[in-house]
Structure 1
């Protein structure tokens, strides 16, 4: 092969390679891929944001004139922290967990009005707004005793506000609630005072019961003494003698059971005050 012809062949191959490279670059520039769980909004330099969205897969576009913007439409968690005041002017620290996603059918509107960082623009703002509005309706202690009800109110109000911005909330919940140091200390002191009050009530009730029992015992003893006195006065010395005999029997029984005593001294009747003639 002659040199001129070889040079011509090399030039042809170089041109083909250049054409192939340019064609490949143009083809690559005219394709874009949307991953799973995402949607694409196409911006056209002449028509603006197109109303149709592109789903998952590979799609064509006009290079230079059109540009795709990819949106994640999966549910994502977000925490919103707010410091707000209650109805009784106590400061409360609240943390709200929100599971949100954009309305896939309204992505062109979201892109035109809010941009791709729509959640950073909207959720903190409406979250704080709703929390302040709802918490202001309750006293500080009610936020604990009626927490499910408060959480439901926050959820309903936040769902309505998010709908205005084409956002869908799958779940809203209050995950953290704490009070300021002064209020926490006041609550602790109140609980201690209530416990002391309950303890004092118990002590007073116990003392009252003991007093009533003492009165009943005293009344019983007085009644018994009166009955004994009446019986003694009516029976003369017979009752006294009977009690002496009963006491003597008890002493004799006790001594008889003792190992160290084998007989009962005859002089014990003098100690018992029993007449030997009886």
Structure 2
């Protein structure tokens, strides 16, 4: 029996250099199964990121209590959507009229964050994004309150009393949003923009006030200088008077001292003369004579006898 050869017209299921079809199909099936398993397993848990809260939904029904940050188990048919609860800022430019009917463009910046425990209610009523909250809750109230407060101030007082206007706007915005689920942290008035005519008037007034202030300062300076000159003149006058009084006092004291010295000296001299007069006796005079006498008798003698007899020495000796 003759052996039949292979029909060369039929392609072979395996060709050298190419992977088998079964191997390719098996690999694809394995990859698909892997992702199916991963998806199936991941459907049993949810991760709530930091700075967010998780809104738990089951077939569109939203749970009232949001999930905290971290890992949470859930039913495979449930869905968890992360809602940002970090602080954000919304800026609104509001056109309003002041008390004196000046047009004012006021730019308000409000820092706020959603209250973490109320994100589920916000999600139900408004939406999951802060843009939705700002569009529905924040911006209309900011505009309304800013217009109402601006109308209470004149254009000039809006500039002068900016802090008071900011306080009123802040209080009203916090009051309006108290039960909305949004917490207002801070309100800032970043800019007041007036029309060109008012800006020119304000600039002219500021220039006039600056000039008036300069003139007032110059007047005060001159007044102070005049007062200083008066004080200096008075001080100089007092110094001269003091010097005159001091000189007169020195002269009087010197005269009194000289008079006292003269008096004391005269008294001393008088006492000395008196003492001297009292101390001069005949015996003393004779004694002084004898101290000066050289013992030589005078060559010419009078009729009364010797000089000793004239001085009375003989009488003394006799006594």
Identify the residue that residue 118 of structure 1 maps to in structure 2.
133
**Higher strand proportion (structure 1 or 2):** 1
1:42: how far off?
1.3
* Root mean square deviation, CA, Å: 3.2
Identify the residue that residue 54 of structure 2 maps to in structure 1.
40
Moved more, 177-186 or 118-127: 118-127
Question: Would the alpha carbon gap of residues 193 and 21 (structure 1) be closer, same or farther in structure 2, given more than 3 Å must change?
Answer: closer
Task: Please state whether the residue corresponding to 1:143 is helix, strand or coil.
Answer: helix
TM-score (norm 2): 0.53
Aligned match of 2:151 in 136, 154, 167?
Answer: 136
Q: Is 1:92 equivalent to 2:87 in the alignment?
A: no
TM-score (norm 1): 0.61
1:24: how far off?
2.1
Aligned match of 2:73 in 56, 60, 65?
Answer: 60
What is the rounded CA distance, in whole Å, between the counterparts of 1:183 and 1:87 in structure 2? 14
Q: Is 1:189 equivalent to 2:208 in the alignment?
A: no
Identify the residue that residue 121 of structure 2 maps to in structure 1.
109
1:179: how far off?
1.2
1:39: how far off?
0.4
1:121: how far off?
2.8
Identify the residue that residue 79 of structure 1 maps to in structure 2.
91
Aligned match of 1:149 in 146, 164, 169?
Answer: 164
1:123: how far off?
1.6
- Structure 2, unmatched stretches of 5+, are 1-24, 220-319
Task: Please state whether the residue corresponding to 1:88 is helix, strand or coil.
Answer: coil
Task: Please state whether the residue corresponding to 1:62 is helix, strand or coil.
Answer: coil
Number of aligned residues: 193
1:20: how far off?
5.2
What is the rounded CA distance, in whole Å, between the counterparts of 1:113 and 1:17 in structure 2? 42
What is the rounded CA distance, in whole Å, between the counterparts of 2:32 and 2:81 in structure 1? 31
1:183: how far off?
0.8
What is the rounded CA distance, in whole Å, between the counterparts of 1:199 and 1:17 in structure 2? 86
- Structure 1, unmatched stretches of 5+, are 1-10, 206-278
1:79: how far off?
1.6
What is the rounded CA distance, in whole Å, between the counterparts of 1:194 and 1:18 in structure 2? 81
